[in-house]
Structure 1
Amino acid sequence: MRLPWLDMRFMRFDMRFMRFDMRFDMRFMRFDMRFMRFDMRFMRFDMRFYMRFYMRFYMRFIS
């Protein structure tokens, strides 16, 4: 997504201008996205989505 980092955190999105699956993901990910690493904000959006699940299972494995 082309939005800057601060808009990513504090804007309310207009959901009409998004693809439908991305709109569905954003509804659940908007609030915990700000806790991600600062380097990941230029990554592709779905790649960030998959990496969150990867890290979740990885942390469960090592703990």
Structure 2
Amino acid sequence: ATTQDYSITLNLVIKNVSLEDSGTYACRARNIYTGEDILRKTEVLVRDSEAPHLLQNLSDYEV
């Protein structure tokens, strides 16, 4: 969403994420008109990847 050409939605993309990227991330923004300062934090947990596996055993079907 944008308001008067200023973004109010931001995204953080971590490419090739690893276990070391887990932790607390913070974003601070300041309104240039009011001087209001806002800090938002979020906890990110990266789990170790697992090998893919079948959820259901597949069988041959004749249609």
TM norm structure 2: 0.22
Name the structure where helix makes up a greater proportion of residues: 1
TM norm structure 1: 0.22
Name the structure where strand makes up a greater proportion of residues: 2
Q: Name the larger-Rg structure.
A: 2
Q: Which has the higher contact order (CA 8 A, sep 6+)?
A: 1
